[in-house]
Amino acid sequence: MMEIETANQSEIVDITAGVERHVQESGIANGICLVYSLHTTTALIINEADDALLNDILDLMERIVPRGAGYEHDRGDGNAHAHLRAALLGSSVVIPVEKGRLALGTWQRVLFMELDGPRKRRISIRVIREA
């Protein structure tokens, strides 16, 4: 389990180092690593952690799922846009593990997306050995 405390309403956090640490502590050389967010208003993606690109991704979310666009769920807690963005992006990623390390491409990073922060968030990390 990994816990993170986000600082903004929307933000993207590079959690690659923390995931890598879990993989190393597992002692598993070859297999897969599941990273799973235990929330309905967050997402996990694999992409490049370039600041300009991260802003572009957040801007894209604003454009394709604007806040307060007449959603039914907004009659409840007012965060329908966050749930809808999370539904589009997905709540988990699976990464191959090779020689005890995450087998990521050169520019690939594990990115946690806060969509309704700031909040304390929990991410489950499981490393599964190749049969």
Name every residue whose Cβ is closer than 8 Å to that of residue 86 and which is 6 or more positions away in sequence: 39, 40, 41, 42, 43, 113, 115
User: At its nearest, how many Å lie between Zn ion and the CB of residue 67?
Assistant: 13
Q: Which two three-digit tokens encode residue 81?
A: 């846009």
Q: Which stretch binds Zn ion (CB under 5 A): 47-55, 60-68, 78-86, 103-111?
A: 78-86
User: At its nearest, how many Å lie between Zn ion and the CB of residue 78?
Assistant: 8
Q: Which stretch binds Zn ion (CB under 5 A): 21-29, 72-80, 91-99, 121-129?
A: 72-80
77 lines the binding site for Zn ion (CB under 5 A): yes
CA distance 116 to 125: 22
CA distance 131 to 121: 32
Q: Site for Zn ion (CB under 5 A): which residue of 6, 16, 42, 79?
A: 79
